[in-house]
Amino acid sequence: MPYRLHHVRIDAGEHRQPAFLALNPHGRIPVLTDDETGVTLFESAAILLYLAEKTGRLLPREPAARWEAIKWLQFHAASVGPIIGQRVHFELFAKEKIPAAIERFRNLTNSVFAVLDSRLAQHPYLAGADYSIADIAQFGWMHIARIINFDFSQHPHLSAWHARVAQRPAVRKGITLPEPATGA
């Protein structure tokens, strides 16, 4: 689908400006606006469901597989994202290093890695046989985890899935966006 990408500069605080807060009062990326329908959305899981419904793609129609996809999409939104996000905060950014918080979110990260690994031991993709919006959602955090050395190499099925998804042409394009700032 044709789209226009707007790079919201978190480092410059653009996500705290009134123009952006009008789109997402919680001041977080991503946000989707659809000029065709006038729909504005925040929360990546809602955005993915919207795009899947609009295009009729990447969300199985058959009920069992469809609900598997939605379940794993929610697992991303409610568990994996917040847990890794808190680990990033306590381990990398918090000025005060709190050992109990660091240990808690390391343990929780390893626990969600293990859950994903066991699912992917049985199926090539999270919804089952086919790639879906559940994989797109999970890939985002898994890719960041790999980059910042939150190691999941001891989970072979999760690692193989990550490598498989990373090779998809649209994913390869997606991880290069937004393009590096030119300094302009």
Ligand X SMILES: N[C@@H](CCC(=O)N[C@@H](CS)C(=O)NCC(=O)O)C(=O)O
Total residues at interface with ligand X (CB under 6 A): 10
What residues form DSSP beta bridges with 32?
41
Residue 104 touching ligand X (CB under 6 A): no
- Residue 77 Cβ, how far from ligand X at the closest point, in Å? 6
Q: Give the separation between CA 54 and CA 78, rounded to whole angstroms.
A: 23
Of 6, 7, 9, 10, the one binding ligand X (CB under 6 A) is 10
Tokens for 169, please give them: 């042409």
Please check whether residue 98 is in contact with residue 90, taking contact to mean a CB–CB distance below 8 angstroms: yes
Mark residues 45-84: x for contact with ligand X by CB under 6 A, - for none: --------------------------------x---x---
Please check whether residue 113 is in contact with residue 155, taking contact to mean a CB–CB distance below 8 angstroms: yes
Residue 44 touching ligand X (CB under 6 A): yes
Q: Give the separation between CA 127 and CA 65, rounded to whole angstroms.
A: 6
Beta carbon nearer to ligand X, 15 or 155: 15
Residue 106 touching ligand X (CB under 6 A): no
Q: Please give the torsion angle defined by the CA atoms of residues 136, 63, 33 and 134, in that order, rounded to the nearest 10 degrees.
A: -10
- Residue 4 Cβ, how far from ligand X at the closest point, in Å? 19
- Residue 154 Cβ, how far from ligand X at the closest point, in Å? 25
Residue 43 touching ligand X (CB under 6 A): yes
Nearby residues of 45 by Cβ (< 8 Å), 6 or more positions away: 73, 74, 76, 77, 137
Residue 128 touching ligand X (CB under 6 A): no
Stretch that binds ligand X, among 26-34, 51-59, 91-99, 113-121 (CB under 6 A): 26-34
| Dihedral sign from CA coordinates of 94, 47, 6, 144 | positive
Q: Give the separation between CA 96 and CA 81, rounded to whole angstroms.
A: 22
Binding residues for ligand X (CB under 6 A): 10, 15, 27-30, 43-44, 77, 81
